[in-house]
Amino acid sequence: MRRTTATRTALSALLLLGTWATAGARSASAAGSPAPAAEAPASASLLSAMQHDFGLTKSQAEARLAAEKTATAVERKAKRAAGASYGGSWFDASSGRLTVAVTRGADTSAVRATGATVRLVRHSARQLDAVKARIDALSAPAGVSNWYVDTKANKVVVDVVTAHRDDNDVRAFLTRARKAGPVTVQQTAHTPRTLAAGTVGGDPYYTGNVRCSIGFSVYGGFVSAGHCDQHTGAVYGWDHSYIGNFQGSSFPDNDYSWVNVGSGWWTVPVVLGWGTVSDQLVRGSNEAPVGASICRSGSTSHWHCGTVLAKNETVNYSQGAVHQMTKTNVCAEPGDSGGSFISGDQAQGVTSGGWGDCSSGGETWYQPINEILNRYGLTLHTA
């Protein structure tokens, strides 16, 4: 929403309120005025943002979006072709192709026939997921930041905060983790945190003493982050008018929630571009591969883009571990929690937490959208 009275009466944090006609460039994560139905996701403003964030020319940005769309379709076919030998996959922006890892015994010809490049690895994705699951069952100390399956390395990576690498409880955790299977340890200077913020005027939605950002419209409400639920029930918009109530939430273990919408608010299939890009229509929730470009919209730092770095990652917040997260190098700041991650016109997930900020950079994790929809039986509102 804009910070004017007229446009604030349009929508609220990312997708809801007001009239589409007045929702053009709001200040919170509200749904802006939708682009014309015929507009392609690669709008001029989106291409401009990609040129700025990735250092691309317009034609290079167009080519990358097209290649990523193809890779998303290839990934599904290649995974089926590889079967139990599937070892993970990732998109290479330099070549514009998807690489699929497979173990010995795979029908590599069938996998290549899907259009993927094939790499032979020792461990299947199922084996690595089992290793990660065994680590998930451990109790992680605060000095352990996160862990995930690195498909390129064909190992499970555990990130340890450098300042705590010699702590006895960290060493004990790593000893147990290494017994779970192929594990490598990396050091990080950063501790992940959730991105909720104290109440400040003029931002997306409020609950208790917390401000967060709306993620995506679903029929009957919207989805957001679970840690935003302060268990006070009621949710209020940027103007403090009543929107609805939390109907379900989970945090830690997961980080998702959904809120019903009423009292004059309604849902629209839009992600706010904050004037950086045109407000983006949401047309589906096909999952982008590792290596694909992705953008985030939030009420504090607005619109930023980056790349998908890893999937199915466990993040060890101070409140407890959250599983099956996706890591990106998109920046975020307090108050962006719950906001939308989108790739092209496909919803990807809701902002959970990270480290850094949008001045110095950082990494941010999101909770994948399809898990939230399946958990609560929700239907994404699409254009």
Catalytic residues: 227, 255, 337
Distances (CA, A) of 77 to 33, 97, 275: 36, 14, 37
Question: Three-state SS string across the chain, please?
Answer: CCCCHHHHCCCCCCCCCCCHHHCCCCCCCCCCCCCCCCCCCCCHHHHHHHHHHHCCCHHHHHHHHHHHHHHHHHHHHHHHHHHHHEEEEEEECCCCEEEEEECCCCCHHHHHHCCCEEEECCCCHHHHHHHHHHHHCCCCCCCEEEEEEECCCCEEEEEEEHHHCCCHHHHHHHHHHHCCCCEEEEEECCCCEECCEECCCCCCEEECCEEECCCEEECCEEEECHHHCCCCCEEECCCCCEEEEEEEEECCECCEEEEECCCCCCCCCEECCECCECCEECCECCCCCCCCEEEEEECCCEEEEEEEEEEEEEEEECCEEEEEEEEECCCCCCCCCCCEEEECCEEEEEEEEEEEECCCEEEEEEEEHHHHHHHHCCCECCC
Cα(207)–Cα(237) distance, rounded to whole angstroms?
Answer: 9
Torsions phi, psi of 52, nearest 5?
-70, -50
